[in-house]
Amino acid sequence: MLINLATHYDPTPKNKLDEKKIEEANVNFPIKILKNTENQIKVLNTSSYIQLLDEKYQIHYSRTKNIFLNHLINSQIDYLNLYMFDTFGSNDDRNKVVDRFIIDILRDKDLNIPNNPVFINLTHINRIVATILHLVENFMVGNYLLKSTDTILLEDLALRLMQIIGKKVNINKVGRKPNYIDMIDDKFDNVLLSNDTIFEKNLEMRVSEIRKTIIL
């Protein structure tokens, strides 16, 4: 079995070279691996929830992820595809929203969020890993969601992190952004394993990890 976690996350590539890096990780590399196996292998593939949105909301990152998924489908390989939402946890250097908010709060910097209500669905990486290991042993063909019950407004996430950290910073509301979570039709079954740690504890753990690594 091939577990394809290879990805290069860059939502806003600045030039053709940045785009090439995304294409190499998300398309060329996994296809090369499959060719070496002559397609005689089961594949557990991870995708982004952005791929479930209308084409007008797709970005270069999600389009490349779709290219590889379509390659799996057209190759008639037994595949298990998992659409993941936003994750956070140890050893994540992608500058995603939880970490960005924590670092800015610790450094007494203002937080910038959209004017309009925008929700985010968050899952701690430990829960993702546990689910993937379970699915390796209990392989199913098809497309599924990895979606937690922890859907939260960006503003509420910022306020909760301020409370955990014990610091208050300004929240600036600037511009508008699409509320992607409300645009997704949950037509696929959710196979995320149940959580034995509450969301608040996972946020506290991430705050503690980041405190030890940044220079204030």
pLDDT digits (tens, 9 = 90+) for 190-213: 999 988 789 999 999 999 999 998
CATH of domain 1-84: 3.40.50.720
> Distance between CA atoms of 197 and 94, rounded to whole angstroms?
23
> Distance between CA atoms of 132 and 17, rounded to whole angstroms?
32
- Rg, Å, the chain Cα set: 18
pLDDT of residue 192: 97
Residue 215 has pLDDT above 80, yes or no: no
Classified by CATH at the fold level, domain 86-123+148-186+194-216 comes out as: UDP-galactose 4-epimerase; domain 1 (3.90.25)
> Distance between CA atoms of 34 and 42, rounded to whole angstroms?
10
Domain ranges of the chain: 1-84, 86-123+148-186+194-216
**Mean pLDDT on 11-21:** 94
DSSP 8-state symbol, 55:
G
Q: Mind listing the pLDDT tens digit for each residue in 123-151?
A: 999 999 999 999 999 999 999 999 999 99
> Distance between CA atoms of 166 and 121, rounded to whole angstroms?
24
By CB neighbour count within 10 A (0-12 exposed, 13-18 middle, 19+ buried), where does 61 fall? buried
**Mean pLDDT on 157-182:** 96
Q: Mind listing the pLDDT tens digit for each residue in 59-109?
A: 999 999 999 999 999 998 999 999 999 999 998 888 899 999 999 999 999
Residue 216 has pLDDT above 80, yes or no: no
pLDDT of residue 17: 96
Q: Name the nearest CA neighbour of 100 among 111, 108, 86, 89.
A: 111
Residue 11 has pLDDT above 90, yes or no: no
Percent of the chain predicted with pLDDT > 90:
84
CA angle 82, 11, 148 (to 5 degrees): 35
